């Protein structure tokens, strides 16, 4: 079966903004995204099948081989991979877990993501996010559900000056415009 074609919801508006020396915004390509939930034995099996051990520490992310697993709750994880890997990931995890109780739901169609990077990336995100984003308080590898202005997001610090912002597709233009505006106020 052919992979569905997913046009990024930000594709039309993302190229319309110019570069900015202190904070860049970039629409990320469509990705395979799953919400996985399960008890500890299922978490271990799913991590093995996914190729990335699911993080057991609260609000942490783990990465390997172009895939990432983000801890969203005591038994809930966001799994990220390239879009063309979606079917294989689902097959591998379901086969690995067998009758072990778990939930694996594709949210690829619902979610999109963008990246905020640069020396003032934390300031731009903080324009609408109430978290302390100083690196000492929110270090590389930290992730959480939070809000950006009026939109729910998943925030993940992937580098010293780089943030992944996962958002529902319906909120994406609002989040993009908010960040563009925040960037102009630096």
Structure confidence by residue, pLDDT tens digits, 114-126: 999 999 999 999 9
Confidence (pLDDT) at 60 = 98
Q: List domains and CATH numbers for the chain.
A: 30-109 (3.30.70.1520), 110-186 (3.30.1360.120)
Distance in angstroms (rounded) separating the CA atoms of residues 59 and 101: 23
pLDDT(8) > 70: no
Distance in angstroms (rounded) separating the CA atoms of residues 99 and 18: 51
Confidence (pLDDT) at 15 = 60
Distance in angstroms (rounded) separating the CA atoms of residues 10 and 144: 22
pLDDT cut 90: percent of the chain above it: 87
Residue 16 has a CB neighbour count (10 Å cut-off) of 8
Q: Please report which helix (H) or strand (E) contains residue 44, including its range.
A: helix 40-50
Confidence (pLDDT) at 22 = 86
Nearest Cα neighbor of 104 from 113, 95, 94, 96 is 94
Distance in angstroms (rounded) separating the CA atoms of residues 46 and 63: 14
- State mean pLDDT over 164-180: 96
Distance in angstroms (rounded) separating the CA atoms of residues 147 and 139: 18
Structure confidence by residue, pLDDT tens digits, 150-166: 999 999 999 999 999 99
Confidence (pLDDT) at 5 = 44
Angle 79-115-147 from CA coordinates, rounded to 5°: 75
Nearest Cα neighbor of 37 from 107, 86, 87 is 107
Which whole-number Å values give the CA distances from 152 to 49, 145, 163, 168, in the listed order? 29, 7, 15, 8
- State mean pLDDT over 29-55: 97
pLDDT(29) > 90: yes
pLDDT(96) > 50: yes
pLDDT(54) > 90: yes
Nearest Cα neighbor of 80 from 165, 185, 180, 21 is 165
């Amino acid at each position: 079966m052919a992979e569905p074609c997913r046009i990024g919801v930000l594709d039309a508006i993302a190229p319309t903004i110019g570069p900015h020396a202190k904070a860049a915004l970039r629409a990320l390509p469509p990705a395979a995204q799953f919400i996985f939930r399960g008890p500890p034995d299922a978490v271990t099996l799913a991590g093995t099948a996914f190729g990335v051990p699911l993080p057991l520490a609260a609000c942490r992310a783990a990465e390997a081989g172009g895939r990432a697993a983000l801890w969203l709750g005591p038994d809930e994880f966001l799994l990220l991979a390239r879009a063309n890997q979606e079917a294989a990931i689902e097959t591998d995890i379901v086969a690995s877990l067998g009758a072990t109780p778990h939930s694996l739901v594709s949210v690829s169609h619902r979610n999109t993501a963008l990246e905020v990077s640069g020396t003032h990336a934390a300031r731009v995100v903080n324009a609408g996010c109430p978290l302390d984003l100083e690196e000492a308080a929110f270090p590389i590898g930290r992730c959480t559900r939070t809000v950006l202005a009026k939109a729910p997001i998943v925030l993940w610090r992937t580098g010293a000056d780089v943030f992944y912002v996962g958002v529902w597709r319906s909120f994406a233009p609002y989040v993009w415009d908010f960040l563009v505006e925040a960037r102009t106020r630096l």
